[in-house]
Structure formats: C-alpha cells, structure tokens
Chains A and B, each alone.
Chain A
C-alpha cells in the first residue's frame, strides 16, 4: 500500500512559470515531510522539508504548503527554470523511525 500518493506523474512547464506537485498521506503519525530532487544517474537530494506545526515554508523559489486537516502537502516552484528539470519526490516519516516513505515521483520538464 502506497503510504504517500503523489501527482501528477509528469509535468511540463514553460520557463518562468509555476510548477506545482501535490502529495497526500493517510498516516497521521507522520511528522516530517521532505521533498527530494533527483537528476538522472544521481541519488535524491534534499530540497526542502516541513513539519506539521507550520502551514508553509519557503526557501528561495521553492515553497512547501502543508494542510494538516486534509493530510496534503505540495511543492511550488516559482519562476521555473530549465535547470529545474528533474524528478521530484515527496516523502514522509515519523520522528525516531527515520525510514522515509516516498511518493512515486513527478518528472518535471521546464521548456525554454
């Protein structure tokens, strides 16, 4: 059973546009929600993470929005650039357990 559901599977955005990737979870014990960026041939790299005590976290062009009641969180990439073209994974974990449950990934393509 997929603990974290991610959509869309693929996304094409024009340069300068906003990329939005959504994730949903069921386990209310999750208390850490990171986003990872993965380029072909590379391991996932931590992009930004949020805990459920805040509803939004922003780092540069990347923003996580978190809706605890809906058990949903999303990644917004503002002013998307061709260099942002990669696969993005949302994940969730429980403090102390430390095993991450990943979504199925979103392949983002930013066209010039």
Chain B
C-alpha cells in the first residue's frame, strides 16, 4: 500500500513568491495535517483538516493557508515567501482526528527560499 505522498520533492523560490505544496493521504485516511520542520528542529504544527474542514491551526501567520479536497488530498499555500520559510514541509495523515492520534508522515517537500 502506498504511504503518504507529497509533491514536489524539492522546490526553490525567491522572496515574495507564492508556493503550493501537495499531499495525498494514505488510502482510507480522511484527516491531513501539515507541519513545518526547520533544519535541526522538531516539526511544528501548521494545520489539520478533516472532511474538508479546518480542525486546527498552529501559530503561523495568515500567509499560510490550506485546503482539503473531496478525495482527502490537501494543498498547503504560502504567500509572500520569506527566507525564514525555508524548511521541510511535512504532511501527515490519519483515519480521523480521534483515531488514537496516530499520524503517518510523508517524506516532505524541501522548500528553499532565496
């Protein structure tokens, strides 16, 4: 069975640009969460979506937005990129928000902002 997939694998952008990252959850999983992992740190929670609705938001500015589609895939958008947005962006899926909290992570998208 395929795990969580993310695209693209790597991305290079310049300051001020906008970026869209994509995630496909494990088949049967309906909840998707996004995390930002800065080099040398643990992942930081950005958003959780379940059944196309936002269920949680971390301490990130409004430049960050996301959505979930009817097939449970998700997109993370970041506007007006800053150098500090350079990080590994991880997507995690779970069956539901209450499914034993077990989340399965994808390989991430490495975003570099120049």
- A residues within 8 Å of B by Cβ? 4, 6, 32, 34, 36, 41-46, 49, 89, 91, 93, 95-105
Instruction: Report the separation of the CA atoms of residues A93 and B42 in the bound assembly, to the nearest whole angstrom.
Output: 14
Q: Which residues of A contact B42 (CB under 8 A)?
A: 4, 6, 89, 91, 102-105
Total of A-B residue pairs, C-beta within 8 Å: 67
Contacts known (A43-B90, A43-B106); A98 close to B40, Cβ less than 8 A: no
Scoring B residues 17 to 56 as 1 if CB is less than 8 Å from chain A, else 0, what string do you get?
A: 0000000000000010101000011111100100000011
Selected from B35, B40, B104, the residue in CB contact (under 8 A) with A46 is: B104
Least CB distance, A18 to chain B, in whole angstroms? 23
Contacting pair B56 A95 (CB below 8 A): no
Contact B106 A98 (CB under 8 A): no
Taking CB as reference atom, which chain B residue is nearest A91? B42
B94 within 8 A of A: yes
Q: Is B112 an interface residue (CB 8 A)?
A: no
Q: Which 9 A-B pairs have the closest CB atoms?
A: A102-B42, A43-B105, A99-B45, A32-B101, A98-B97, A44-B105, A43-B107, A93-B101, A89-B42
Starting from the known contacts A98-B103, A102-B43, 5 additional A-B residue pairs (CB-CB under 8 Å) come to A41-B107, A46-B102, A95-B101, A96-B98, A97-B56
List residues 38-80 of chain B with CB under 8 A from any CB of chain A.
40-45, 48, 55-56, 58
